Amino acid sequence: MQLFDYVKVYRNAVPSKNCDKLVNSLEESLFESHRSYTYSFKQINLNQHFKIFEKDIFYFLDIFNIHIEKYKNSLNIRHFPNEHGYEEFRVKRYKENDFFNKHVDVGNNQTCKRFLSIFVYLNDGGGTKILDNIIESEKGTLVIFPPFWLFPHQGIVNKEKYFLSTYLHYV
């Protein structure tokens, strides 16, 4: 097996209308700016606004659970953690001048409980470069991969880009 075999891309995992519904429900006032020398984007933590996004959270939770099973089966994973949980669901929005340089999703004591990265593109445009492979942003495409140092990745932004992300945690 090659390292990139642990990156799985599921096209049409979420119907376009459901992606549009979530994007259209996002209120500008809920977005928080995140900026450093390695990234610039705005984000909404859906869990912090549970009353507004409860149905969306449970809908995407079902989608993620289905695709995690597909991921495990496709890789014949036999030692998957029995007890795990999800990190908060976040929608990131990138404008044309925003960016997220090459990084990994586990890099310190706070993030070491993550063992799978999961996100779904909510619109077309841009993508993600993982290792030396580019995954084009297509609305409804779900991506799963390990968050560790072997899987550096970066965002590709060529127009406004939305995606919903979370991580599986050890508990």
Given a cut of 90, is residue 14 above it in pLDDT? yes
The pTM assigned to this predicted structure is 0.96
**Which pLDDT band holds residue 123 (cuts at 50, 70, 90)?**
very high
Does 125 score more than 90 pLDDT?
no
Tell me: pLDDT of 96 over 90.
no
- The pLDDT of residue 128 is 97
- How would you write the chain as a 3-class SS string? CCHHHHCEEECCCCCHHHHHHHHHHCCHHHCEEEECCCEEEEEEEHHHHHHHHHHHHHHHHHHHHHHHHHHHHHCCCCCCCCCEEECCCEEEEECCCCEECCECCCCCCCCCCEEEEEEEECCCCCEEEECCEEEECCCCCEEEECCCCCCCEEEECCCCEEEEEEEEEEC
pLDDT at residue 30 in the model: 93
Is the confidence at residue 65, as pLDDT, over 90?
yes
Residue-wise pLDDT for 18-62, tens only, equals 999 999 999 999 999 999 999 999 999 999 999 999 999 999 999
